[in-house]
Structures are given as structure tokens and as C-alpha cells.
Structure 1
């Protein structure tokens, strides 16, 4: 929403996006504000956010990209603090804030320490490039600029960058393949693919493969939920139930998904499966008794003893 307001011409100095992209509006040279973007390592929107940042970077617009440990969620407190600090630097660079040498020195020290402790050549290059970019108008960054140039020329860095590009391309191809299996005729193959990625996502140690699998599964769950909502609005209850079964498979702990699946099944006339999913919802922690009691989706089940027993279990 903030980005949309900025595109409408409102005078925004900066926008922070976390785990999501821009509205359907051209980016790059037309970005009218400073951009701080964040995304989790296991966020299915990570590639989308990184793609936006790359476009803004090629247009040489002020930007900062932070990747934090997590999935599709708001950035953690440390990343949010980093965003505020970055906007303070941008305000001083652009003359919107009085120069504060003590603050500049404090933030410089903190950022240099981050460069030193970050793991991986790609992450180090990203931090070094951001350090040079953010401070070059405020203080001398000569040593850091030379270190950045040396790193980017190294064989090891170039190999790491190529490996990341291959991994990202692989992820895009898998997403396309799973999207092509969105219909009922692709259900069996989709489930086979998902089973493979669920196994990868359950690995005991962190890795690029585990992160890839978790991003893919998260994206599939959200995609199924969004598609089911459209099907429900169009009163295609059987299709909504099929899609919600996918979401439940991926997020079996989510009581709300079991409840929504029960609604779709009840509206489709599938009495026993609807009751089974209601029971699963209650067992997973569904507690909104008033909603269940008044939900018209279950009108045809209200006289059923099993329904009354489930309602009675919710205090």
C-alpha cells in the first residue's frame, strides 16, 4: 500500500517492504522513493523481492536489501531497526536531516562489524556493497571500496554467484511445474512432487536445499488457499474443497484450514467428510464457538448428533 501511495505522487521519502513486492506498476527508474526491502530465507516471495531490488539497483536508485532467518512473516526486530537506521542515513545524505557525526560513526562501526561476521561470499559482497553505497557521501569508504572490488574479481565469488543464479533458476522452473499441476488432472503428480519437497524440508540441518523446499511448500500452501477463496466465491465448492485439501496437507497444524475445508465440504453436500474436518479443526485448536454455531455453511448439519457434540466440545 505504501508503494502504491508513492506511485500516486504522494511525497514519500522512503518505503519499507517485507516479504512482498510492489503493486502492478513499473519499477526501476520510476521508483520515486528510497527502498528498504526485507525477506526471510524461507519466504516463498524471496525471489520476487530480490528481483525488485535488482531492478532498483540497476536503475541506481537508493536501496537496501536485508535477508533474515524466517519464512513469510514480518522481519525481525533487528532487521526493522536496521531499516530505521538506514532511513536516518538516507535522510542525512539527502539533506532532510541535520548531519549527526556521532550517529554516523556509531552506524558505521556497527555496519563494519556486520561485514566482518557475515558468513558466505555472496552475503559479504552484499554487505560491503551496501556499506560503500550508504556511506560514500558521508565519510571515506576507500578501503571498503577496494575490498569490494577485490572480492568481486575473485574466482570464488564468481563461482558462488553462478551457483546462486542456477539455484534461483531451478526454483523458478519448479514453481512453473507445480503451477502447471494446479488442476484436478494434475493432483496425483502434484502430491508426488510435494511429498519429495516435504522430505527435503524436514532435513535436520539448514541448507540451500531445505530452504528451497520450504519456500516451495509455503508458496503452494498460500496459492491453494487463495485459489480456494475464489472457488468459494464462485460457489464451486467441490473445487474449493480439493484446493483446501492441498493446503491442509501442507499445513496440517492450522485449525483454520481444517475449518474452511469443512465449510467447503458441507456446502458441497459431503456430510461425513465435513464432520471429519470439523473434528480435525477442533482437535487442532479451533475455539470460535459462536462462529461455528452461526455459520450458514453448516445449516444442513445442525441436526446431526456428531455436529452437536463437536459444538459442545468448544468452550
Structure 2
């Protein structure tokens, strides 16, 4: 199919053999067709300065629920600042195999690089959480990916990495994120494998980084491209970036965050090594690491790192045993653990607060991963899943979906006592979707019992059925 791009003042118009699409600049455009024969679409973002007379770098952003438009919305402000095109598939899904997702990705790559003037050696991937992990797999299967920005996500599979096909890895993670310790480990592994890499750490949890941090990540890719000669060296850009990064370091230290300041100085040594003498960076880091505040926090952090590792091992061990034995009696132990994590989070010591938040996130992710694994097995072990749903009500008491699944399963197994117990727990939490409750799978007989309707009447003021006893 022949494609021609016409650039207008505020839009780029794409004319194909079967369609004429106006591609506006500065906004996320959704539902662009990959090709005429396959029902796949993608979202696209062109910076306001986009010009077809120049070549542009592109970042393919992945969301494993196929929400291309939402994914690009999180990155578009940073892409605008740094001059990057963005694209995201609306068909990528964590329910598909890796092979199918890679094929969808490959087709999107081909369409975007044919449609737009994309710079050679200027193709990158990115994503958050599961999307971030998938983005680290893409370079192993599709040639030409120069770098990856993985947000809140480690490398998906170390085994597929090879020094014959290195890519520039940039991890962006909050220091309260449960993936933070793993990403610190991955940084060391990638360095041993001679992969260029940086880890940008911000003050926060398992969340998309803000525009400032995403912009820094894109800036690093631009500086790396300059160092390799892929784009002309821009001295003004380098000087401004260098100054901005020192401002960031000083701000972090003034906010009593010396560990984050030191981490950023370490990354600056790698980023600016091709451009400037590193004396100022080395001197600043040496001075910072001698400060009393840094020494105290570093000593505390090292101690907490060991504690965190031991606690996570304990969680893994007991959860595996509990699933195998359907150990409902151990739900009390898990409740106690969550109370202990709350104590960490209420500590006057900031680093202990962050430890508590990371461990809470880790438990939630661990249980969710086990639910996904068991749900995919054939046949499904319903009793093991029921235990995990009950555990979810302990670690995520406001997650209504877990209560509903327990009610459905225990009604199916005629355990009405447990079903009614979790029904009342659910209603006490504020659940008010009467229609969903009366349509819940496996509860036809339960729904017509006096006990069920009395609870609904008590909390929702109106039950569907009134039981009259003669």
C-alpha cells in the first residue's frame, strides 16, 4: 500500500490507498489501523514541532490491557519536551502468548516506520509494570530496538539477554515500589553483561513516573544517541541538561534525601562521561557521602535491605505451604503480618515507612501472581483459589471482587455459612451493587434463603425476595 505524508500547520495528513486520515500534532490520536487486512489498531502521538523533512525518534509504549491511548497520555508531555514520536498498540494483552504479542508489535512497528520518517537507530520501547516487563522482551525478538525505558518493572527474562544484541536499559522506579530491590539487582547484572544502563529512582511507589522523570529518561536516550553519532552533538542541549541534573541533586539533598541524590550523581557519571570532565561530579559525590546525613541513612538502609530480603523469603515460603495445604487457619498469621507492615508505615523513620510500603506491595503482587497461575491451570484448583481470595480480603480488605468470588465458590460447594459470613463482610465494607449481587454465579439457591435476603435488607434497605414462613 502506497503511503504519502502531507504536513500542515497543525496536523499531518496521511493518505493511503483506502483512507485519508488527518494526524493532528500535540494530541494523542487513537484507533489508527495497522493495515487493511488485520483488525488491529494503535494510538499515535506527534510532537507539535513534528516535521516530515526531518527524521524522528519513536518510543513504542506498551500497556498489557490494550489501552494504547491511556499509555501515551502518561508519556506525551515528556515526549513533547524531548521531541519524540509515540505509538502504542490497542491489541497487546496479557491474556495472549508472548509470540502473539510480538507479532502484533512487529506489525505495528512496520506500519509506523513506513508511515513516518523515523530515525535509523532511533527506535525505543517503554511501559509501566507488566508493560514495562514486556518492553524489555521486544529487543530480543525484533531487531533495531536501541533502548528500553522500563517503569516500575525489571527485565522480564535475563536468559534472553545477550551481549551480541545489547540495548540501552533505563529503569525508572519509586523507592517505595516493591520492584525497587529487584531493579537494583538487575542494574548490576546488566553492567556485568556490558549493557549500557541507568536506574532513575524517585520518591514514590508503584506508579507511572511523573513528567520530570520520564523526560530525564528520554533525555538520556538523546544524549546516548549524540555520543554514538546517531544525531548531531548539541552543546547547548548538553550544558542545559548537565545544569538541570545538578539542580536536581541539590534539591534532593536539601530535602534530606541524600541516598536519592547520591544515586543520581552516580548515574550522571555514566551519562556525561562522553561530554565533560567528571571532576565536579566526583567531588560532589565524595562530599555528599562524607556527610553525617548520608552515612546515617546509608547505614539504616543497608540494615533494612537485609530485613526486607528475609521477610520476603518468609512470605514466599508460607504462601507456598498454605496454598498446597489449603491452610485457612494461617489467615490469622497473614493478618498479623499486615498489621506489622502498618507499624512500619507509621514509623517516624522515613526509610522504615518506605520498607513497609514496599513489603505491602510485594505481598499483594505475590498473591495476585499466584491467583493468575492457578487460574490458568487445567483443571483449576478451586479450593486453592478460594484460599487466595480469602487471603486477598486480608491484604486488600476493600477489594470487593475477592468477596464476590468467595461467595460464589462457597455457595457452589454448599458452604452457605461461609458465603453468608463474607456477604456480610462485603456489605459492611460499603458494597451496594444489588443487581450484581443477585446475578452472582452459583448463588441461585443461596439468593432465595431468608438469611441472604435479611442481610441485603439490613444493609441495602431493600431485598429482592421476601420469605414468608407459614
TM-score band, normalised by shorter chain: 0.7 to 0.9
**How far apart, in 2, do the equivalents of 1:313 and 1:11 lie?**
61
Kindly tell me: are residues 302 and 193 of structure 1, through their superposed partners in 2, closer, same or farther at Cα, counting changes over 3 Å? closer
CA contact (8 A) 2:170 2:198 kept: yes
2:398 to 230, 253, 263: 253
Shift of 1:2: 1.5
Q: Please, what TM-score do these two structures have when normalized by structure 2? A: 0.58
CA–CA separation in structure 2 for the residues paired with 1:300 and 1:313: 15
Alignment partner, residue 264 of structure 1: 409
Cα distance in 2, alignment partners of residues 15 and 313 from structure 1: 54
- Distance apart, 1:48 and its partner CA: 0.8
Q: Which structure would you say has the larger RCO, counting Cα contacts within 8 Å and 6 or more residues apart?
A: 1
Query: Corresponding residue for 2:141?
Result: 8
Tell me whether 304-313 or 81-90 shows the greater mean CA deviation.
304-313
Deviations 1:78-125 (A, max 9, x none): 222222222222222222222222322221221010111213443222
How many positions carry a matched residue from both structures? 312
- For residues 190-269 of structure 1, the aligned pairs below 5 Å read 190-201=334-345, 203=346, 205=348, 207-232=350-375, 234-269=379-414
Which residue pairs with 2:155 in the alignment?
A: 22
Task: Give the gaps of 5 or more residues in structure 1.
Answer: none
Deviations 1:121-170 (CA, angstroms, capped at 9, x unpaired): 43222111222211121234332233335556789866754543332121
Greater fraction strand: 2
Q: Which has the higher helix share?
A: 1
Partners of 1:47 and 1:161 in 2: CA distance: 15
Gaps of 5+ in 2: 1-133, 465-470
Q: Where in structure 2 are the equivalents of 1:124-139 lying within 5 Å? A: 124-139=261-276
Q: Any conservation in 2 of the 1:28–1:58 contact (CA below 8 Å)?
A: no
1:1-315 matches, cutoff 5 A: 1-26=134-159, 29=163, 32-119=166-253, 120-149=257-286, 151=288, 161-182=298-319, 183=322, 184=327, 186-201=330-345, 203=346, 205=348, 207-232=350-375, 234-278=379-423, 280-281=425-426, 283-285=429-431, 287=433, 289=435, 295-304=440-449, 306=452
CA–CA distance in structure 2, aligned partners of residues 194 and 142 of structure 1:
47
Q: Which moved more, 1:77-86 or 1:169-178?
A: 77-86
- On the 8 A contact 2:304/2:352 being kept in 1, the answer is no
Give the RMSD, CA atoms, in angstroms. Answer: 3.4
